[in-house]
Amino acid sequence: MTISMQDHGAHKVTQLLCKLLAITDINQFGSFIDGQLCAGEGEQIDLVNAATGGIFMSYRDAGAEQVQQAAVAAELAQQQWWDKSAAERGRLMYACGQAVREDQEDLAWLESITAGKPIRDCRIEVAKVAEMFEYYAGWCDKLTGQVLPVPTSHMTYTRHEPIGVVTQITPWNAPAFTCGWQIAPAICAGNGVLLKPSELTPLSSTVIGYLLHQAGLPSGLVNILNGYGHTTASQAIAQPQTGKVIFVGSPQTGSKIAQAAALRTIPSVLELGGKSANIIFADADLDRAVIGAQVAIFSAAGQSCVSGSRLLVQASIYDQVVQRVAAATSKLKLGLPWLEDTTVGPIQNARQFQHVQAILASGLEAGAEMVTGGLGLVSGGEQGYFQAPTVLAGVKNHMAVAQEEIFGPVLSVIPFADEEEAISIANATRFGLAGAVWTGDVGRAHRMAAQVKAGTFWVNSYKAINVMAPFGGFGDSGYGRSSGYEGLIEYTQTKSVWIETAAAPAAQFGYSAG
Ligand code: NAD
């Protein structure tokens, strides 16, 4: 499998999209609304191959009318969906998982070209999408309420009912994964969906929407709206059918989304950024910890919300760990995403690349020492946004490199003296998405897990993730939970039902039957 650098992957994308969406002309691409692919009516958006810097495809923003059509379709389809038995919904959701599995290799390629991610990583992420539908298929007929032992003669029970239609807005760093992560629990709970992927990476979500429809979901249950945030996503939030907004993206945009939802008095879930601490104690298995430190920050070229971007290392082993991590980092294979042996790919877009450069430069200016890596484009023939995996030593936790989300392959290594200082540095951040500790002391592992303020915490591991486990942030990393049972409950509203069972009505003070 090769991709011509001249056409920036255009030929390959055309071939994959035409096959996966059963179309003959790439210009038919647009939003997937009410079971149909609709070319957009708004502004033209160009898609750039991160590895070459060239445009490989263009499409049009959906436009207000299409968003409205999708909302109407989702409302109607949701009623049909909820009318089906729970077992039938489960069977159809399982078929959705199978449909994704059947096309997983093609989907992984599409993702690799559009997101600029190594093909090996994309295969894993697409397989996880199938797993999400299979997991939530099993929940469809198990989402039960409770019978409450109230002290009156009532039989009182709860029902978890769907919200109706939900709007989901997702980022560019893991588009297929995020799409499955949010659509699967939403439809399991009985909702219709309007999903707006990042304008930079709309292809895999659109194909997944199409595959779910082909697998038997009612037309209009899942709509993929392609376009910009300030146009298409804002219009989706404004639709009267939207009962909740689930946002995955940056804290800055998350704040705007929560305000837009609040203006309509609808709730929101925010899955935002992070500045996670990966903590190595001197009693750790250092071979494993050194590998873990690299996986934590360099997979996805650091473009992951849970990146272990702050490496906290106990002072007695600091120099040794810095030297070992730097030596191993300098050997990582930085390359074209579609090559099988690439470990680190490019930054996904020019704006993000500039952001990485600016924060890295500020760190160097503030006194951090670059042990390996570099500032600026990696030279070597490609025109894409390649940033060398970089390790900074001598970082102080107050520096911008240690406080701002870089979202690139830049590791800041910070020393600490003891457990107390490690916890204090780990928690000295506005974020609270994830964290990890590497130690041979089981008691210390539990103490750290209890005291680091983060929604996910790993011990002697990093980045393990599964749809069964709830995921979400503390602090500026957001609120609400995705995945697992908690993620499912986010897509419901709970009703209490009271049924009088007494043979004779209880006395109602002052009231009579006439
Ligand atoms: P972003 O906030 O720029 O964009 C995210 C989405 O919001 C896109 O679909 C975009 O079109 C839309 N959007 C932008 N402005 C909008 C507006 N005014 N109204 C409505 N929608 C708008 O984020 P990004 O650069 O695409 O993604 C990177 C960020 O995502 C990082 O901060 C990363 O940590 C975060 N992220 C978080 C998680 C998580 O689960 N916590 C997962 C992945 C990424």
Cβ of residue 257 lying under 6 Å from some atom of ligand 1: yes
Q: CA 318, CA 6: separation in Å to the nearest integer?
A: 46
Give the mean model confidence (pLDDT) for residues 331-357. 96
Residue 329 binned pLDDT confidence (cut-offs 50, 70, 90): very high
Tens of pLDDT along 55-87? Answer: 999 999 999 999 999 999 999 999 999 999 999
Q: Which of 253, 348, 385, 406 to mutate to test the pocket of ligand 1 (most atoms within 8 A of CB)?
A: 253
Tens of pLDDT along 178-203? Answer: 999 999 999 999 999 999 999 999 99
Q: What is the pTM of this model?
A: 0.97
What is the model's pLDDT at position 439?
98
What is the model's pLDDT at position 431?
98
Cβ of residue 249 lying under 6 Å from some atom of ligand 1: yes
Find tokens 């272990």 and name the residue: 308
Residue 318 binned pLDDT confidence (cut-offs 50, 70, 90): very high
- Tell me the average pLDDT of the chain: 96
CA atoms within 13 A on the CB side of 445: 11
Residue 507 binned pLDDT confidence (cut-offs 50, 70, 90): confident
Q: Active site includes 271?
A: yes
pLDDT tops 80 at residue 407: yes
Residue 375 binned pLDDT confidence (cut-offs 50, 70, 90): confident
Q: CA 112, CA 119: separation in Å to the nearest integer?
A: 5
Give the mean model confidence (pLDDT) for residues 363-386. 85
Q: At what angle are helices 119-139 and 203-214 packed, to 10 degrees?
A: 40
Written as six digits, the tokens of 58 are 């263009």
What is the model's pLDDT at position 364?
97
pLDDT tops 80 at residue 440: yes
Give the mean model confidence (pLDDT) for residues 95-103. 98
Q: Which amino acid is at 513?
A: A
Cβ of residue 250 lying under 6 Å from some atom of ligand 1: yes
Give the mean model confidence (pLDDT) for residues 216-221. 98
Cβ of residue 271 lying under 6 Å from some atom of ligand 1: yes
